Structure 1
Amino acid sequence: MDYYVETLFNSISFFDYSRGLFRELEDEINREDENYILNVGQEKYIEYLSDKYKLKLIEILEEGITQEVVEESVSNQHMTMSPLSRGVSGVSKQEAVLFYFPVSGDIDLLKIQPSTFTFSPPRAAIKENELIHKVILFNRGSEYALQQLNIFKTNINQMITYLNTDIIQYNETVVSKIRNFFIGRKNKILKRQNLATSINIPLKKRDSAPKTFAIPTPNMRRKITIKPRVGLQPFEPDPTLDENTYNDILRIINDMGKAFERNPSVYSNKGEEDLRDHFLMQLEPNYEGSATGETFNKKGKTDILLRHDGNNAFVGECKFWKGEKSFLSTIDQLLGYLTWRDSKTAVIMFVKNRDFTQTLNVAKSAIKNHKNFVRFNGGQDETWLNYTFNLPEDTNKEIQLALMMYHTVDVN
């Protein structure tokens, strides 16, 4: 059998190895065509590179260990069983046991020295996806073979633990490295071409707008990775809401939604359109300067729209929770309204179910299964969650979607 026994965990250090991967990663981003960088969906491209450059953890699949008894040619100078054999030149045939260890992950990583290491690392042969550990018996029996096997298993598993610790730390860093390299190159291209990533929609907060709103008094008489493909056409920036304005709009919606929860006797019997109009009544006085007669307007029964140059820059879709299927259809409907890259959106769900926590968990799980889901961006609170989606007709156009859920139980 053809194999070569070598000392493991004894070549380049993991620090130098990971530094080389970061250089390779940056070089790959720098080799991309400029229009590809400008047009590609940022999160999809980052996800593609993340899948490519992340390292898989190493694991010995112990349940798959097998053995084979063979005859090995051994130099007489290694013979230790008989004093008469020491120093005698030539070779002799000895019985040996080969133990085969199947390995999950990139087996070549077992050559790399982890940041925690020993000066006497284990030795074995690497062949395809297996380690081969050889035990020469020197006329000893199976107990000796098993003893040596257990020593090797202890040593190899300890070193793999050290290596996996480095891999985990590297994987936690690689996404931020990709994001920094990508954004850094994109900004350099835009600066050189004197472009902006987007054109801010002319919209400003009214100075006279009330900072809070009054709650009406209740009437006592009666809730797997493929590289993104992009055409290399020249990049053209799209109008967009700036982040501060978007977050301010969402805060106003969230404050109103929390008011629905705190005052069920006022809002519990309202329909979707009525609840939507309460949001509009709070948003419209706060902003001025859109391209339409009204800054915020409505299309259909449940929408909150902010339009600019005939396109929807912000869409809020208000619906009662009617189950997972209806929820995903609401997202489909919302995405169908959008044309611009980096549009800002919100799905506002009113939940009448008594078990609000369970409904929230169903929604959080279902949204990640939507075909246009890209990533979860964190939450402002337990019921205001932020996501990135792409548009159905163009996966490189990524939009922001806030999921906002409010418990509006009917009051009898």
Structure 2
Amino acid sequence: MRMRVLLSTIGSRGDVQPVVALASRLRSLGEEVRVCAPPDFREWIDGLGIPVVPLGPELRGTAAPEPAAGRSLPSPEDLRRQVEETVAAQFATVGRAARGCDVLVACGALQVAARSVAETLEIPYVHASYCPVTLPSPHHAPPPMPGLVPPDGADDAALWELDAQRWNAVFGAALNAHRASAGLEPVTDVRGHVFTDRPWLAADPVLGPWPGSADLDVVQTGAWILPDPRPLPDDLEAFLDAGDPPVYFGLGSMPAPGDIGRVMVQTARELGRRAVVSRGWAGLSPVDGGPDCFSVGEVNQQALFRRVAAVVHHGGAGTTTAAARAGAPQVVIPQVYDQPYWARRVADLGIGAAHAPGPPTVDSLAAVLARALEPGATAKARAVAAQVRTDGADAAARLLAALERVPEDHVDRIRRPR
């Protein structure tokens, strides 16, 4: 009998593509699967033959270019309303999509309602994270959050306690109101409730090893990588063939700080390199029509990154993994959440360099890019590429397929609220 699986996520391409990778692998094993994801990705997922249920509003507009400073944070009232709307949409949409399913897998940190839906339907629930630093551990601090300044002198344990308090303050009232309507007991530890005491970590163990925790029994599956068979466009192939390998620049779904497009192109020229600039959600483009620059939209990164001299990017888990698999040295320009972690890992592994926080200038970006282009970093990147696992989605799919055979006390522990 086939297992029916619901995979749910909220976020950008970096949050959705791993879910699609796992969905594709589950289907290849003969399981039934459907996906809840933002409507930005409905056409793409539909085109892969995977049933998709749109969840929440479109997100693409959140990456519009903006000044380095000047965007105000939402007011407490705006934040409260946004949280209530998000939690209500999750209960309604995920609740409908999960009917008839045998297991619910919630991916990323914004899936606040998914475990409650699983409890109502009395089906197993799994939480999956994409980066070690998003899960509580005494060996690292929580990821930085916009607008929150940690107290001076606070150690990692204190920061995690403050993080738990923030989860309760932001989501507790809305979550428990819907749980009460469903006849469920309230939860007092929202973060622990969402993550469970046995979360999955869909990150490569070389790039993002789990450092350990006495409170969490983390299952590290490896990154969920979606194979991409698409050829590169003919005009891009022609550009790549016309000279030395260029430097790739892209910020994915992130906003564009300052005049970053100009900085990127001038940095490449400063070092005597050609440039490929990914437009991304912020609509980046080369500053001129020079023959040493090429603009790309959605493209097969797995193929492109094998053809470039280096990858300069925002530090998303997916892009970091794709560049590492390709053996391309990296420069990470981190902005938010898990990106500073991936910047540190790239630097610590010696497979590239991390730009300091803040918008880059030509001088600052050229300095770190020059380090990433040194022969030692290139050699190290190629060595690490051979160690990056490609079977993470398969490992996760087989774990899900085996859920019906796990001990009953484990299934109870998955369901039990905290």
In terms of fraction of residues, the more strand-rich structure is 1
Larger radius of gyration: 1
- TM-score where L is the length of structure 1: 0.22
In terms of fraction of residues, the more helix-rich structure is 2
- TM-score where L is the length of structure 2: 0.21
